């Protein structure tokens, strides 16, 4: 029997996009002669995305659905899909069709040639505004500089072999960053270039606040480099303070006047800003420690559907539970 390819896609308020995504993915994978399962993870959608997932699962047994009990975020939703995937290789892809499903057969070929991790690298950034493009590039370059894990032009669109996936799922941390950890685990790698498409249903639903929060969580859950940066900047300020103090003392001994009121104010502002930013960085890491110590589940599953031939429960009855 041929290898089973699991395709994991988080879904959040996609609505009619669910059918469009399933139809497009089925066309590509069936046309390529691949045996596959599609794992759709509803991350607490407020629209009818779950009902559409259930309908697609009843129409095609290869479509499986997982409904989380609330909106946990993209990273936990991806993790839920990975933990429920049963394939010999697993592909993670966005359900808004910005990641081209047509690239999956090429990724599978690289896997069959011996690669354990196949990463899709962007050739373009369609659908992103100027701020999004600059922010994305800055984050990827900063992350790469702090961790030595290359995320420049990287995406969440990637294939993992079963061995690589098992290694990834053994990582114990509560706060996960799939793009970073799937690169950190190593294994034999390969890359393919893809063109990112515009969203099939309007603009991105990511706000600046949510993107900023994702970036902070990604960095603080993956590396302690910002803490070391605070230490280095503190040492630099200490060295500067020693030099400035020595200069002031020498001028005082020599009877020179010290008319440095603006300088003092400027130093207080700079040092006060640094102290508050440093406390903020430390607070973020304390929050990560707090999450790990609490040990709460990274996600909770409310309902599953596995293509079983049963009549769907009326929406009104589910809503009144």
β-strand pairing of 4-11 with 89-92? parallel
Q: What pLDDT, in 10s, does the model give residues 66-123?
A: 999 888 888 888 888 898 888 899 999 888 888 888 889 999 999 998 889 898 887 7
DSSP state of 108: H
- Give the per-residue pLDDT at 263: 65
- For 263, the token pair is 């300088």
Q: Which residues of the chain have pLDDT under 70?
A: 1, 124-154, 175, 198-225, 227-228, 238, 241-242, 244-245, 247-249, 251-253, 255-267, 269, 290-292, 294-295, 307-321
- Give the per-residue pLDDT at 7: 92
- Which among 154, 140, 146 has a CA at the least distance from the CA of 281? 146
- Give the per-residue pLDDT at 91: 92
Cα angle 236-241-245, degrees, rounded to a multiple of 5:
155
Q: What pLDDT, in 10s, does the model give residues 217-250?
A: 666 666 666 766 777 777 777 677 667 667 666 7
- For 3, the token pair is 């290898």
- Give the per-residue pLDDT at 315: 41
Radius of gyration (Cα) for the chain, nearest Å? 25
- Which among 76, 74, 54 has a CA at the least distance from the CA of 63? 54
- Dihedral in degrees, nearest 10, Cα atoms 29, 95, 109, 87: -80
- Give the per-residue pLDDT at 180: 74
């Amino acid at each position: 029997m041929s290898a089973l390819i699991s395709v994991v896609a988080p879904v959040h308020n996609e609505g009619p996009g669910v059918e469009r995504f399933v139809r497009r993915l089925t066309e590509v994978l069936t046309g390529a002669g691949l045996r596959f399962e599609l794992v759709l993870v509803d991350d607490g959608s407020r629209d009818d995305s779950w009902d559409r997932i259930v309908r697609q699962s009843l129409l095609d047994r290869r479509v499986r659905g997982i409904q989380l009990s609330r909106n946990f975020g993209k990273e936990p939703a991806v993790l839920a899909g990975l933990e429920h995937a049963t394939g010999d290789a697993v592909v993670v892809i966005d359900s808004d069709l910005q990641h081209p499903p047509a690239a999956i057969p090429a990724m599978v070929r690289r896997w069959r040639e011996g690669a354990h991790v196949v990463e899709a690298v962007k050739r373009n950034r369609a659908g992103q505004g100027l701020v999004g493009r600059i922010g994305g590039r800055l984050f990827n370059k900063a992350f790469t500089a702090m961790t030595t894990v290359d995320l420049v032009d990287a995406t969440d669109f990637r294939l993992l072999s079963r061995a690589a996936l098992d290694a990834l799922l053994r990582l114990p941390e509560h706060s996960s960053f799939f793009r970073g950890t799937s690169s950190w685990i190593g294994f034999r790698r390969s890359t393919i270039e893809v063109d990112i498409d515009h969203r099939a249903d309007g603009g991105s639903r990511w706000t600046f606040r949510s993107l900023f929060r994702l970036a902070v969580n990604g960095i603080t859950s993956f590396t302690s480099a910002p803490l070391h940066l605070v230490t280095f900047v503190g040492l630099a300020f200490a060295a500067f303070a020693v030099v400035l103090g020595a200069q002031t003392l020498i001028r005082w001994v020599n009877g020179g006047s010290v008319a440095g009121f603006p300088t003092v104010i400027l130093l207080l502002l700079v040092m006060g800003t640094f102290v508050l930013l440093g406390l903020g960085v430390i607070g973020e890491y304390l929050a990560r420690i707090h999450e790990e110590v609490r040990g709460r589940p990274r996600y909770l599953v409310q309902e599953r559907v596995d293509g079983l031939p049963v009549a769907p429960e009326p929406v009104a009855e589910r809503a009144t539970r």
